[in-house]
Amino acid sequence: MKREQWASRTGFILAAVGSAIGLGNIWRFPYMAYENGGGAFLIPYLVAMLAAGIPFMILEFGLGHKYRASAPMTFAPLHPRMEILGWFQVMVAAVIACYYIAVIGWSLSYLMFSFTQSWGNDANAFFFGSYLKLSSDNSPSSLGTLQWSIVVPLLVAWSFSFFATFTGIRGGIERLGKVMIPLLFIMVLILTTRVLTLPGATHGVDWLFRPDFSALLNTRVWADAFGQIFFTLSVGFAIMIAYSSYLPEKSDINNNAFMTVFINCGFSMLAGIMIFSVLGYMAAEQGKPLTEVVSSGVGLAFVTIPTAINLLPMPWLLGPLFFASLLVAGVSSHISIMEAITSSVMDKTGWSRRKTASLLCGGGALISLAYATNGGLLLLDLVDHFINNFGILGSCLAELICLSLLLRLDGMRNHINRLSEFSIGRWWEFCIRYLCTGLLSILVISNLVTDLSTNYGGYSESEILWIGWGMLATMAIIAVTLATRFNDQTLTTEA
Ligand code: PHE
Ligand code: NA
């Protein structure tokens, strides 16, 4: 069967940008920047973007285009064992798909709540108590019971990704991207221009961009910057390879990769300015220092922002705009995660798109119910930590090392340059082979040292062992099984 193709270059870029821009840009970037010294974070962030983000994006676009297959089948021809890495990346995507959707579900609930600010005066108690009904024992393994008020929005959120992966590249993904991404930019632009003129807003923005150069000596800051770049660009776990495998024969690579990266990172700045304007206004309004109104992590989007919305002019407009942005950004990213998994399974088994999408979305929806329980938030926190610090960084590092050894990078560069509107020089090979690989190794080792010496989040030893490390081990075992056991069933995708 002939592989599907994007109908237009714009369609491809909007889909890639839709994958890149996600919850990570709207809530993760601002608090990462804030926690790591505001303006000083921007330097490591930009270095990570140029040294790792752009080269990696070019590499993945090039790989998908050249081998015309999802990650496992792109890696398999390089070395039979490399298919394992492809499936491990698919597993990373699958784990993310199941918890990312929970946050999208919350956003959908909050979109509803925001019309009347039904979170009331105490947004903190509302989120953790009334909405999530979080159990008080700090234990990610005691899940308690299903919360229907979370299950329903979660399933609605699944229906978007199901529709997109079921109908395919042109019918679903490209068409949705053309509506969602422009809509997202319009909403965030309206929000940002409105909140920037509030009293105290510029004070907040100053905070975000205020340099603290001593932070540059802190390895944690660099680790967070690189981690954020890989997460925000969706590189290193099968997604961009899958999307670029649907590129037509004659397609620019370099310019598309630069555009995707710049649009994503520009959007993060915009979202950062928006969030910190609101925080600055809130601090001024409540007469508190800015540091006292910020709560990090999920609290930023679901506690601090609702509290701020109560104080804003026109809360019934700005509130829904904020949560609709979060929803649209999240859904377009989730679609890309599900497409990466769907295309990998289709390539391997030869199953139809409809069958594959139905099975995967159905199974994923079932698993994701674990996050719609009393212990869901804690489970999500622990899983997210292990996926970000080891799953994503580990699979990025493994990809770089294996490709540096097995792929003729100069050949790849020639392939890419032949197609592209402008050429990239040998610096690209240097970044992939040495710079990114070296920096990532340091990061993974430093993360390992931290996690082996302290229990993340104060969770119990056994929960960290079974849920955190156990999950990574299970993912690896499944990857090995998929790559080595079913080879006789592999159907070639060649037309
Ligand atoms: N890039 C997305 C973001 O910034 C995150 C993402 C994660 C996308 C996993 C796809 C898969 O939120
Ligand atoms: Na992003």
Query: 10-residue block means of pLDDT along the chain (495 residues)?
Result: 91 96 91 83 92 95 96 94 95 96 96 95 93 86 88 97 96 94 96 94 90 84 87 92 96 96 96 93 89 79 92 93 97 97 95 97 97 92 90 92 93 96 95 91 90 89 92 96 75 46
Ligand with minimal distance to 264 CA: 2
Per DSSP, 81 falls in state T
From 234, 240, 341, mutation site for ligand 1 pocket: most ligand atoms within 8 A of C-beta? 234
Contact 382, 68 (CB under 8 A): no
**Residue 300: what pLDDT?**
85
Nearest residue to 271 (alpha-carbon basis) of 32, 12, 14: 32
> Residue 146 gets which letter from DSSP?
B
- Sequence-separated (6 or more) residues with CB below 8 Å from residue 186: none
Ligand 1 close to Cβ of residue 236 (< 6 A): no
Nearest ligand (C-alpha, residue 98): 1
d(CA 345, CA 442): 33
9-485: CATH architecture: Up-down Bundle (1.20)
3-state secondary structure of 373: strand
- Cβ neighbors of 130 (< 8 A, separation 6 or more) are none
Q: Which residue has the tokens 């925001």?
A: 114
Pocket of ligand 1 contains residue 96 by CB under 6 Å: yes
**Ligand minimally distant from the alpha carbon of residue 337:** 1
CA distance 108 to 65: 35
Q: Which ligand 1 atom sits closest to the C-alpha of 264?
A: 4
What is the C-alpha separation between 320 and 112, in angstroms, rounded?
A: 8
Counting ligand 1 atoms within 8 A of each CB, the residue from 19, 60, 240 with the most, and so the one to mutate, is 19
Q: What is the pLDDT of residue 1?
A: 67
1 CA → ligand 2 middle, Å: 33
Of 100, 237, 392, the one to substitute when testing ligand 1's pocket (max ligand atoms within 8 A of C-beta) is 100
Strand partners, 373: 146
Give the distance (Å) from ligand 1 centre to CA of residue 487: 30
Closest ligand 1 atom to residue 23 Cα is: 12
pLDDT at 495: 39
For residue 295, is it left (φ>0), alpha (ψ between -120 and 50) or beta?
Answer: beta
CB of 180 closer than 8 Å to CB of 331: yes
pLDDT of residue 216: 86
Tally Cβ neighbours within 10 Å of residue 376: 27
> Residue 40 has what pLDDT?
85
